[in-house]
Amino acid sequence: MKACVLDASVAVKVFVEDRYSDQAASVMRRYTPAAPGIILSETANAFWLYLRQGVVQITDMRLAIRKLAALVTVCPDEELVEDALAMAAELDHPVYDCLYMALARREGLPIISADKRMIKLASEQLKIETIPLSTIPIEDDAP
């Protein structure tokens, strides 16, 4: 399987029903995902928002965050933060997203995201290969 950098916008959709949940599940079947450590906090925060809305249950989200940690190769943020800060200053974009871009650049991996602004910055400004989640095929389970 090909490796990729997966961001929280995709990770959430793996566990909470969304119009792109099938594509997110397909990513997990077709790729070996990597991410900066912040993915766990960002995904947990999104789960908290769904909990507040009464859409999901805490027991399900606790299990989901454990599953995510097991499915994704997590790179410590400390290894990426200096480069991410430089990117953030250059692009005038939050460091949170730049952590994903710094990992993708360092490892030479594409980023898969549902975040259109990040996809545009990564591809146009940093020349990082990007794959919008909406373009992931779902017709079969094979890589």
| Distance separating alpha carbons of residues 99 and 15, to the nearest angstrom | 22
pLDDT in tens, 22-77: 999 999 999 999 999 999 999 999 999 999 999 999 999 999 999 999 999 999 99
Domain of residue 94: give its range: 2-135
pTM of the model: 0.93
Domain count, the chain: 1
Q: Is residue 49 part of a domain?
A: yes
Instruction: Yes or no: say if 29 and 58 are a contact pair by the CB < 8 Å rule.
Output: no
- Decide if 82 is inside a domain: yes
Inside any domain, residue 59: yes
- Note whether residue 140 is domain-resident: no
The DSSP element (H or E) to which 101 belongs, if any, is helix 95-107
How many C-beta atoms surround the C-beta of residue 32 within 10 A?
A: 15
pLDDT in tens, 93-115: 999 999 999 999 999 999 999 99
CATH of the domain at 93: 3.40.50.1010
In whole angstroms, how large is the CA radius of gyration of the chain? 15
143 falls within a domain:
no
